[in-house]
Amino acid sequence: MSEGSSKSSPVYGGGAERSEAEGESPASVAHRPLRHRASRDDGSPARGGAFLQNFRALIRRSLAARLLTIAIVSVLSLMAMGVIAHSQFQRQLLRLLIDPEIQAVADNLVGNSGPGLAGEIALQDLPYDPRYLQPLSGRYFQVARIQDDGSLDVQVISPSLFDVSIPLDSKLQATLTAPDAPREPRFIDIPGPDNEPLRIVARVEEIPQLEGRYLFLVGVAPRAILAPAANLVGISFAIFLGFCALMVAAVTVLQIRVGLEPLHELQRDIAEVRRGEHERLQGDYPAELKPVTQELNALVDHNREVVERARRHVGNLAHALKTPIAVLKNAAADGKGEDEVVRQSIDEMEKFVERQLRRARVAARAEARAGATIAYRTPVLQNLEDLVFMMEQKYDHEKAIDISVEAEADVTFRGEREDLLEMVANLIDNACKYGRNQVIVRLLPPFGDCLFEIVVEDDGPGLGAADLAKAMARGARLDEAAPGQGLGLSILKETVDLYAGELFFERGDLGGLKARLRLPATD
Amino acid sequence: MRVLVVEDDKNLREQLSGALTDAGYTVDTADNGEEGQFLGETEPYDLAILDLGLPKVDGLSVLKAWRKDGRSMPVLILSARDRWSEKVEGLDLGANDYVTKPFHMGELLARVRANVRRQTEHTSSTIEVGDLRLNSATGQVTVNGAPVKLTAYQYKVLDYLMHHAGRIVSRTELTEKIYSQDHERDSNTIEVFIGILRRKIGSNRIITEKGLGYRLIDPATEQQ
């Protein structure tokens, strides 16, 4: 327990220290009461302030909290208005009900007053209304003689008053008993016996055959009138309150569900844009969200533009570098092996440029694919044959390599021609590089799933078990680990991933590497 | 032999020109597409080296214009653009080879050598063996009218076999003819080429004479 409080003490500690610091101000004695107040103020408003801050934070964080607050505030103010209107109405109603009665009773009392046996004021008849007789019934009267010093000498009270009198505060009494007080009856609301509200009529009269002035008071407590209906009002009011609470809850839930739904839609839409399923926000949004979506779209466009510009820039730069690299390379080659360092640097530059370009390309394709639902259809066989001829030419002067294409039937690739060529070229190029004399490219139609398969096999040395595993590992950068060994493999994998395709490496029947590329076919 | 070099980079143009001159070619140069196109259309060249990114008229347009104009000299595209789709496109437009920058001068020279037209060696520009036809002016090979795409070396092997149709050509003979100016080759290189040619023109046109060599025949007339 004490541990707990000591742990939580830092929170209070600040306040206590602060109040102590205040207390130790030079005029500490003179300010003692002030300090007392200060320390107390320090407690509750600080807590109140913290609450307010929490509330503000909540409002800032949560739209639902905002809506709920608005709903609660509006319903509460409506209820307050209702309560005010209700009490106003009740007061008017009570006046209408009470005033004529007490006036009539007062008239009756004045009329019935006369001198008693001992020269005091006496009533010849009691009012006919028996409720003035029942103790504390809420209906009272009182007759008092106004003394010369302004005090009252109560002479007659209604039996209902039992043994008390209608209390008047001194100020009211002074106004009522002033010598120049008007004769007209005055209706006043005062706290009556037992401090219950009482509406009274006050009349100052002179009674024939009696000296001095007399103050007649007749009062009716609203309670006496309302009592029979009190329960009824309470229940309906409770029902009204309950209904209000339900409405607040329902309205809030509706506001959050229905009112905030477009925000959820917007969120889903943005997520789709981010995943690259759409190019821009496409939903039809309420007018209030339109500016937001327009700005978002503008931002997306701008972003894309910037990225594209940067990419173009990199591409242009890389391409522009190629010619000078070619010049350097040829110049270095003239040195006949003397400039090994220069040649190595040039090779590095070349590889770097190559890699950057390929990366930019893959990214550009990923970008281009965002939005446009893949509507590309690329016949595979013809492109394979073109590619194979390209490869034959590429390796024509290097070595004799027999690249054969085996296909039962043509298939159509659901994707771009460029991507297909780039992926397959990568595999065939590798196969030609490492193969001795033979490369077989097989095109297998899809069966089961919608993926067709391109198998590229060579009769080269192939990869060892460890390298095979490395090549198979997802995201493996075989080309970066060993430059020259399957350059572009990682980029190839990225492209395959773009199409949700698959790429496997195995040991082939020809003894070399067998690459199996599986890509989506059109239906 | 005359070679046209169309390249806008001054240094590279001079290097190419120098290397080709050293290799014994007569070299003309152009530093923009317009001039290159004009030269290619008016002068008889044995080969053209064409850069794609050229000022005034780009390389592909120049190539298209040449082919449209009936110019059939071998064209070797030299480009920094190395997308396979771009290479295939260049080839579709009638280029004979595609070299990407940066390149080894030795490799380029080898390709130039392989692609330079051999029409000077034969007076007749068309040889026919049955329905197999080779046009040495255009470098086109057709089987029964259908064009067959051959690389420079494949073409050379077929060209030699066709010029000696019906007689046995030994491997050594072929190797010497094909690779006279190049570095040493694998012993089975010719075998591979024969395999490729058989696949492309029909396996019954080239007969293996065990221990002797190969013989190109017309299967329609020579039944065995």
- Three-state secondary-structure class, residue B195: helix
CA angle A115, A116, A120 (to 5 degrees): 80
Nearest residue on chain B to A426, alpha-carbon basis: B84
Q: Do B12 and A330 touch (CB under 8 A)?
A: yes
| pLDDT at residue A176, as a whole number | 81
Q: Are A232 and A135 in contact (CB under 8 A)?
A: no
State the count of interchain CB pairs (< 8 A) between A and B.
Answer: 120
Q: How far is CA B116 from the centre of its chain?
A: 6
How far apart are the C-alpha atoms of A226 and A223, rounded to whole Å?
Answer: 5
Phi, psi of B69 (to 5 degrees): -80, 0
Q: Do B154 and A392 touch (CB under 8 A)?
A: yes
- Give the up-direction half-sphere exposure of residue B124: CA atoms within 13 A in the CB hemisphere: 8
| A417 neighbourhood in chain B, CB within 8 Å | 85
DSSP A224-274: HHHHHHHHHHHHHHHHHHHHHHHHHHHHHHHIIIIISHHHHHHHHHHHHHH
| B114 neighbourhood in chain A, CB within 8 Å | 396-397
Those of residues 4-23 in B touching chain A at CB distance below 8 A are 9, 11-12, 15, 19
pLDDT (tens, 9 = 90+) of chain A, 523 residues, equals 444 444 444 444 444 444 444 444 444 444 444 444 444 444 455 667 788 888 888 888 887 788 778 878 887 888 889 888 888 888 888 888 888 988 888 888 888 888 887 777 888 877 777 888 888 788 888 888 888 887 888 888 888 887 788 888 888 888 888 877 777 888 888 888 878 888 899 988 888 888 888 888 898 888 777 776 666 666 777 888 788 888 878 887 887 888 888 888 888 888 887 776 677 788 788 888 888 888 888 888 888 788 778 777 877 888 788 888 888 888 877 665 566 778 788 888 888 887 777 777 767 666 665 544 445 788 899 889 888 988 888 887 778 889 999 998 889 888 878 888 888 988 998 888 888 889 999 999 988 778 899 999 999 888 777 777 776 664 444 444 444 444 467 778 777 887 888 888 888 888 888 999 999 888 7
Q: Do B88 and A390 touch (CB under 8 A)?
A: yes
- Give every CB contact of residue A478 below 8 A, 6+ residues apart in sequence: A467, A470, A471, A485, A486, A489, A490
Q: For the CA atoms of chain B, what is the radius of gyration?
A: 19
Those of residues 406-425 in A touching chain B at CB distance below 8 A are 417-418, 421-422, 425
- Give every CB contact of residue A119 below 8 A, 6+ residues apart in sequence: A210
DSSP secondary structure code for residue B133 in this structure: E
Q: Provide the token pair at A129.
A: 């209304």
pLDDT over threshold 60, residue B209? yes
pLDDT over threshold 90, residue B145? no
- Give every CB contact of residue B72 below 8 A, 6+ residues apart in sequence: B137, B138, B139
Interface contact A437, partner B, CB < 8 A? yes
- Give every CB contact of residue A335 below 8 A, 6+ residues apart in sequence: A342
| B186 neighbourhood in chain A, CB within 8 Å | 399-400, 436-437
Distance from CA of A365 to the nearest CA of B (A): 13
Distance from CA of B136 to the nearest CA of A (A): 18
CB atoms within 10 A of CB A290: 11
Q: How far is CA A205 from the centre of its chain?
A: 72
Q: Do B12 and A326 touch (CB under 8 A)?
A: yes
| B113 neighbourhood in chain A, CB within 8 Å | 397
| Residue given tokens 């003894």 in the structure block | A511
Q: Do A421 and B189 touch (CB under 8 A)?
A: no
Mean pLDDT estimate for chain B: 84
Distance from CA of B100 to the nearest CA of A (A): 9
Where residue B49 falls among pLDDT bands split at 50, 70, 90?
Answer: very high
CA angle A418, A420, A424 (to 5 degrees): 120
Q: Are A515 and A431 in contact (CB under 8 A)?
A: yes
Q: Do A402 and B182 touch (CB under 8 A)?
A: no
Of B16, B51, B88, which to mutate for an interface test with A (greatest number of A Cβ within 10 Å)?
Answer: B88
Q: Do B83 and A361 touch (CB under 8 A)?
A: yes
Those of residues 135-164 in B touching chain A at CB distance below 8 A are 149, 151-154
Q: Are A124 and A112 in contact (CB under 8 A)?
A: yes
- pTM to 2 decimals? 0.56
Range with the poorest average pLDDT among A23-37, A169-183, B52-66, B174-188: A23-37
Q: Do B188 and A438 touch (CB under 8 A)?
A: no
Of A314, A321, A322, A348, which to mutate for an interface test with B (greatest number of B Cβ within 10 Å)?
Answer: A322
Q: Do A346 and B188 touch (CB under 8 A)?
A: no
User: For B87, which of A390, A399, A401 is closest by C-beta distance?
Assistant: A390
User: For A421, which of B88, B110, B154 is closest by C-beta distance?
Assistant: B88
Interface contact A401, partner B, CB < 8 A? yes
Interface contact B91, partner A, CB < 8 A? yes
Give the helix/strand (H/E) hosting B208: strand B206-209
Where residue B184 falls among pLDDT bands split at 50, 70, 90?
Answer: low
For residue B149, count CB atoms less than 10 angstroms from its CB and return exposed for 0-12, middle for 13-18, buried for 19 or more: middle
Reference A414, options A384, A452, A457; nearest CA is A452
Q: Do B84 and A438 touch (CB under 8 A)?
A: no
DSSP-based helix, strand, coil % in chain A, nearest 5: 60, 15, 25
User: For B104, which of A327, A333, A418 is closest by C-beta distance?
Assistant: A333
Distance from CA of B219 to the nearest CA of A (A): 23
Q: Provide the token pair at A105.
A: 């009773």
Q: Do A421 and B85 touch (CB under 8 A)?
A: yes
Is 0.85 exceeded by the ipTM? Answer: no
